[in-house]
Chains A and B, each alone.
Chain A
Amino acid sequence: MPVATIAGADVAIDAEGFMTEFDEWTEDIGVFLAEQIGVELSERHWEVIRFVREDYKAQGETPTLRRVSTIGGVPTKELFQLFPKKPAKKMSYVAGVPKPKGCV
């Protein structure tokens, strides 16, 4: 498992670059990861990221876009604006959780 040094901390990542250890994530790391994919984090982005992390912690699984919109309260349209093109993958990447597995 490759280890990268991000924002001064060693974090485990998978071959694609997704973090693999939930507890290694910090907000600074989130900012850094977002920069890597050209996303500047607004308060609304943070709401999504916090929801994704809380939900992952509670459910043991990355929430799907639908879950983020119905339970997290950020509409689908907005998710596509916040994390253009591939919102599910991008939000998981920044939040330091695996890509969502569900089909919807």
Chain B
Amino acid sequence: MTTTKETPVVVPDFGDEETDRKICFIASKGTLDMVYPSLIMANAALGEGIETHIFFTFWGMDIITKELQDDLQFTWMGNTAMHPPGKKMHMPQGMAGLPGMTKVATKMMKKQIADLDVPEVPEMVQMIADAGGQLWACKMSADMMGFEMDDFVDGVQGIISATDFVELSEGAQVIFT
């Protein structure tokens, strides 16, 4: 059957009507493998038009610290699941402690991440800030490390207390990483 009239077109639901969905991540770790979960998910949430915050605390604060964010390390010490990519074989824990092994493991992991076309941490943080993600440093951690706003990358909006975080995350889905 032919028709000359334009038939109704299905238009995807991009959820453009205002949503009050809000996600807050707490990034508490600074090992290379553990900084990506919150960054990747925050970036995905922003791409879905969701209000997204990340609260960086303890070693997670290294992610937004100018001096440190490009030098995060990976070790499999204490990670009994560690196996080479795609292999059923456990890396001996003792090996992780050998001098230089953290450097080697970090290099390998960075390569795998780059192969997936996923940016390194500084670029990832910048991307999230550019996409409208709101970044917060933890006051207690900043005081412990002796950090001030100048020590953090652009895009960090402030140093806030635990109470401030609890207030700003009202009604949000909170994810601890």
Contacts and interface: CB of A to CB of B under 8 A. Distances in A.
Interface of A: 2, 4-6, 8, 13, 15-18, 32, 36-38, 64-67, 69, 75-77, 80, 84-90, 93, 102-104
Which DSSP category, helix, strand, loop or mixed, fits chain B's interface?
Answer: loop
A4 B7 CA distance: 6
A84 B10 CA distance: 20
Given A75-B130, A85-B49, A86-B47, A104 B40 contact: yes
A90 B14 contact: yes
Interface string B136-147: 000000000000
Contacts of A4: 6-10
Interface residues of B, number: 28
Contact of B10 (A13, A65, A80, A102): A13
B131 A13 contact: no
B118 interface: yes
Contacts of A102: 117
Give the most central of A4, A32, A64, A76: most B CB within 10 Å: A76
Interface string B1-20: 00101111111111110000
A69 to B, nearest CB: 8
Contact of B15 (A5, A67, A69, A86): A86
Nearest to A87: B47
A89 B12 contact: yes
Give the most central of A32, A90, A104: most B CB within 10 Å: A104
Interface string B25-46: 0000000000000001001100
A67 B130 CA distance: 15
Nearest to B16: A85
B16 A38 contact: yes
